[in-house]
Amino acid sequence: MNRIVAKRVVTTFHSFKVVRRGLSNDAVIGANSPSTNDQVNTAYKEKLDLTNDPYDIAVVGGGMVGMAFACALSSMPLTKQLNVAIIDSNPALGKQDNIKKDDLPDPRVSTVTPAAISFFKDIGAWQYVLQHRHAYFDKMQVWDYTGLGYTRYTASDVETDILGCVVENKVLQSSLLSCLQKNTEFQKTVYPSRLTSMTVGLPTQPNSATSGIAKLDLSDGNSLFAKLVVGADGGKSRVRELAGIKTTGWNYSQNAVICTVKHAVENHCAWQRFLPAGPIALLPIGDNFSNIVWTMSPKEASDCKAMSEDDFLKAVNHALDYGYGPHPQSNSDGYSGDHSWEVPPNVIELASERMVFPLSLKHAKDYVANRVVLIGDAAHTVHPLAGQGVNLGFGDASALSKIIADGVAVGADLGELSLLKKYEAERKPANLMMAAILDGFQKAYSVDFGPVNILRAAAFQVAHYVSPLRRNIISYATGRQKWPLLF
Amino acid sequence: MASLKLARFLLNSNRKFPNQFSCFTKTSCNLQRRLFSDVTQQSSINLSSSPPTSPPPFHDSTTTSGGAGFGRRTPISSSLNESELLKFSSIAETWWDSQGPFKPLHVMNPTRLAFIRSTLCRHFRKDPCSARPFEGLKIVDVGCGGGILSEPLARMGATVTGVDAVEKNITIARLHAESDPVTSAIEYCCTTAEKLVEEQRKFDAVISLEVIEHVANPAEFCKSLGSLTVPNGATLISTINRSMRSYAAAIVGAEYILRWLPKGTHQWSSFLTPEELVLILNRASISVQEMAGFVYNPLTGRWALSDDIGVNFIAFGTKNSQ
């Protein structure tokens, strides 16, 4: 615990020492230390050497993805000896786990796919998630406002127990932090600050384009050196900006309204209905609570936020039931009751504030640059309609940590472009595919036109009744399968 | 009419065949002689036979051994080929450009290191899960070039000495290694394997990758590598097989079609077959324990280890303990 809180004094020495290393090779260490006593000098020197070597990896952004990446490094034999810095101004990073189980659920939640769950288990963080509120779900129902089609999936379709688990972001975050703190062997230093500038390659070296090290300057005046900079600093990534990596994408003229609601009964199903303005999702979060993610136009969103609690609850129940169109016919020939259409549980109470977020699609043109690599939202933001965003990020964290372990095994320079390119080759096409599919969904529902509606309904029917396709869709959405439609 | 032509053609080509054949046998004879003559050829630098090739931007690991740069033409006893030295000295600056002329080596490097890691870990009983398994091992990288093998070895914990006959390479290697405290501990010397033998240096492992095919006297070279290895120590050599496939792949493919390597990088006739390598290593009291091939997958653009030693291969041997 004490180790993780940045020792300010030490960090100051750190920058002092490393800068000197960069500029001269003379070992005049500790010029300002008491020079009379040789023993003191040696001890001082040793201390400096231990703490002041450049970091192997600097993770900018201690959010869920950045922390998952750090945890992954700490969990593997080949990478646990790496010296890692985490840069984040979020004060929660220095604190012990302080989430109480009877707090009301936070509206910021994530749907963690089975693939991401096994990643969390591998890195040793899932046990901490289980100590907090979480809700596994084994059923999923998707339908649309026209009442023409629906699809309902259960975990037994793919012979598993669960389709996913809904967890509050703060629980994921603190579980990862606990996991990292418990691992005292792992050398990590948290810098409670923000990145202001980044220089790759030292100007004092003639072949600086290919040489060595990235220098990071922080808003509190500290600077540090790292062989590899991992940008896990979200959609507005500063690392991406400083590395000059361009993005493509567009803003959806949609906002998401999120909040926590309460039911009279416990919910075990993830519900999603496509409405003319965008999908509404009702996700179980445990203890009779559910989470609402409702996509709509910015105007409607601000109305939703402003309206009274009762009106809002009415609107939610309306949207999940008869609003905008009829219930789909459930012609469950050959299927058990598990696959017939159901009405989602009624919402009886609003349990949190309503938050509004703008939605956009953004994809970095490159995931890697010299000594820089992007993971999570820094590399891609997607439409939240299938709850894939953070799971793609966990996929990135997992892939990058494995590639770094492979690199360590063969003594590679961790900032080497050829090593980082392997990560890009593994993740970029997969993430692009998911982004394109989600974008396609969004587009398919942005028109309300008879033939299109029928086409969509037909697609629903196909997705519902063609078993191999069903299994395929579930496997892809739960992250078990990297590519869609490969039988 | 046509059949007449064909017959004439066949006759003609028949006439040509013996010539070609003798040509082949001649080269292989040369090779054999070179390989098995135990008479030390004083100064096998054959400047006369291969005139300094015109502007030689070249590639692939450096020739080992030899005097300090080619500027010094004192006939020293060395297994080195001077025109090869010239090639490499002219492209030394590009060693660390992973997209430059040494790109194939950069791409191949992790695969070579994977083999080195597994064989050395097994031989020296080191923990393969450790990040620095070579801690405590003294390793020499003969023909280190810009240090693209020496640096990973140092990161894996070894005490590394990198030697190369091209002074420029050593300068580049030193400069590059400076940026990291781990690699700055590498001892780089512009010298030859023979000179190290004279200095009576010994190493736990002697590694010389993609070098022997550029060396004038492979048998002598292997002898030096053997003398540098401590009893029960390890020697690793990688090179290109002298097979029809290697001609197609390493020369026609890599130099002419894909242009990975500058034309003239390799002389097919100076390649060694695995059998020949085993034999000359045996004479240097190194018994080859394991061999593996490197195969390139054009779809993934990566190299993988395989049993197929038809083109690129690596041999791991141990020094007999007498």
Q: Is B210 annotated as a binding residue?
A: yes
* Span A418-435, pLDDT tens digits: 889 999 999 999 888 888
Q: Has residue B165 got a pLDDT over 50?
A: yes
Calculate how close chain B gets to A64, using CA atoms only, in Å. Answer: 26
What's residue A20's pLDDT?
A: 32
Distances (CA, A) of B205 to B56, B131, B157: 32, 19, 13
Q: Do B279 and B286 touch, CB atoms closer than 8 A? A: no
Residue B209 is assigned to a ligand binding site: yes
Domains and CATH numbers, chain A: 8-97+175-248+360-432 (3.50.50.60), 109-167+253-357+449-477 (3.30.9.10)
Q: Mean of the pLDDT values across residues B286-295?
A: 92
Strand partners, A143: A150, A273
E strand intervals along A40-181: 55-60, 83-87, 109-112, 134-137, 139-144, 150-154, 164-168
Q: Which residues of B touch A406 (CB under 8 A)?
A: 110
The alpha-carbon gap from B244 to the nearest alpha carbon of chain A, in Å, equals 31
Is the pLDDT higher at A285 or at A45?
A: A285
Instruction: Give residues 121 to 160 of B whose Cβ lies within 8 Å of A.
Output: 129-132, 151-156
- Does B266 carry a binding-site annotation? no
Residues in A touching B160 (Cβ below 8 Å): none
Q: For chain B, how far is it from start to end, CA to CA, in angstroms?
A: 72
Helix, strand, coil tally for chain B in percent (to 5): 40, 20, 40
pLDDT score of B111: 92
**Residue B257 per-residue DSSP state:** I
Least confident of A401-405, B262-266, B310-314: B262-266
pLDDT digits (tens, 9 = 90+) for B66-124: 333 333 333 344 666 777 777 666 666 788 887 777 888 888 899 999 999 999 999 99
In A410-482, alpha helices (H): 417-444, 450-465, 467-477
Structure token digits, residue A423: 């990560």
Token representation of residue A113? 């796919």
Calpha distance A165→A138 (Å, rounded): 9
Q: Is B164 a known ligand-binding residue? A: yes
**Res A330: pLDDT:** 65
Q: What is the pLDDT of residue A27?
A: 36
Find all residues with CB under 8 Å of A17, minimum gap 6, and list them. A29, A48, A52
Q: In this complex, do B152 and A410 lie within 8 Å of one another by their Cβ atoms?
A: yes
Residue A274 pLDDT greater than 70, yes or no = yes
Residue-level pLDDT at A210: 44
Question: Nearest-CA distance from B316 to chain A in Å?
Answer: 17
Compute CA distances A167 → A107, A135, A174, B279, whole Å: 10, 7, 11, 65
- From chain A, the residues in CB contact with B154 under 8 A are 411
Dihedral sign from CA coordinates of A417, A422, A424, A429: positive
- In this complex, the residue of A54, A210, A408 whose CB is nearest that of residue B97 is A210
pLDDT band at B188 (very low <50, low <70, confident <90, very high): very high
- Report the range of poorest mean pLDDT among A42-56, A341-355, A403-417, B148-162: A42-56
Closest CA–CA distance from residue B153 to any residue of chain A (Å) = 6
N residues, chain B: 322
Cβ within 8 Å, pair A409-B106:
no
Is B179's CB within 8 Å of A211's CB? Answer: yes
Residue A37 has pLDDT above 60, yes or no: no
Task: Look at phi and psi of residue A298 and say left if phi exceeds 0, alpha if psi is from -120 to 50, else beta.
Answer: alpha
- pLDDT at residue A181 is higher than 80: yes
Beta bridge partners of B315: B237, B291
Q: d(Cα A183, Cα B33) in Å, to the nearest integer?
A: 62
B residues 20..59 contacting A (CB < 8 A): none
Residue ranges of chain A whose CB lies within 8 Å of a chain B CB: 21, 25, 53-54, 77-79, 81-82, 202, 205-207, 210-213, 227, 406-413, 416-419
Question: Radius of gyration (Cα) for chain A, nearest Å?
Answer: 25
Contact A410 B114 (CB under 8 A): yes
Return mean pLDDT, chain B. Answer: 76
Torsion of Cα atoms, A372 then A376 then A382 then A384, to 10°: -170
A450's torsion region: left (phi>0), alpha (psi -120 to 50) or beta?
alpha
Q: Which two three-digit tokens encode residue B174?
A: 């030193």
8-state DSSP, A159? T
A433-475 residue pLDDT tens: 888 888 887 777 777 677 777 777 777 777 777 777 777 777 7
Residue predicted with more confidence, A433 or B21: A433
Please give the pLDDT value at position A95: 66
How many angstroms away from the CA of A358 is the closest CA of chain B? Answer: 39
- Residue A161 or residue A39, greater confidence: A161
Using only C-alpha atoms, what is the Rg of chain B? Answer: 20
Phi/psi for A361 (5° steps) reads: -110, 130
Is the pLDDT score of A339 beyond 60? yes
B93 assigned to a ligand binding site:
no
Q: Which residues of A touch B97 (CB under 8 A)?
A: 210
Separation of alpha carbons A354 and A348, rounded Å: 15
**What are the structural domains of chain B?**
81-319 (3.40.50.150)
Site from B179, B186, B209, B300 to mutate, A interface, most A CB atoms within 10 angstroms? B179
State the average pLDDT for chain A.
81
**Chain A residues whose beta carbon lies within 8 Å of the beta carbon of residue B174:** none
Chain centre distance of CA A113: 12
Strand pairing report for B159-163 and A372-374: unpaired
Contacts A–B by Cβ distance under 8 A = 70
Residues of A in contact with B147 (CB under 8 A): none
Is residue B73 within 8 A of residue B46, CB to CB? The reply is no
Q: b/e map of B31-43 (b: 16 or more CB within 10 Å)?
A: beebbeeeeeeeb
pLDDT higher for B290 or A445?
A: B290
Chain A residues closer than 8 Å to B152 by CB = 410-413
- In this complex, is the C-beta atom of B98 within 8 Å of any C-beta atom belonging to chain A? yes
- Chain B nearest C-alpha distance from A183 (Å): 17
The kind and range of the H/E element at A42 are helix A38-52
Q: A413: which chain B residues are within 8 Å (Cβ-Cβ)?
A: 151-152, 155, 180
Average pLDDT over residues B42-65: 38
Q: Residue B40: what pLDDT? A: 37
Q: Confidence band (pLDDT; 50, 70, 90) for B13?
A: very low
Q: Print burial letters for A288-301: b (CB count within 10 Å at least 16), e (below 16).
A: bbbbbbbbbeeebb
- Distance in Å, alpha carbon of B114 to nearest chain A alpha carbon: 6
Reduced to 3 DSSP states, what percent helix, strand and coil does chain A have, rounded to the nearest 5?
A: 40, 25, 35
* Tally of CB atoms within 10 A around A432: 13
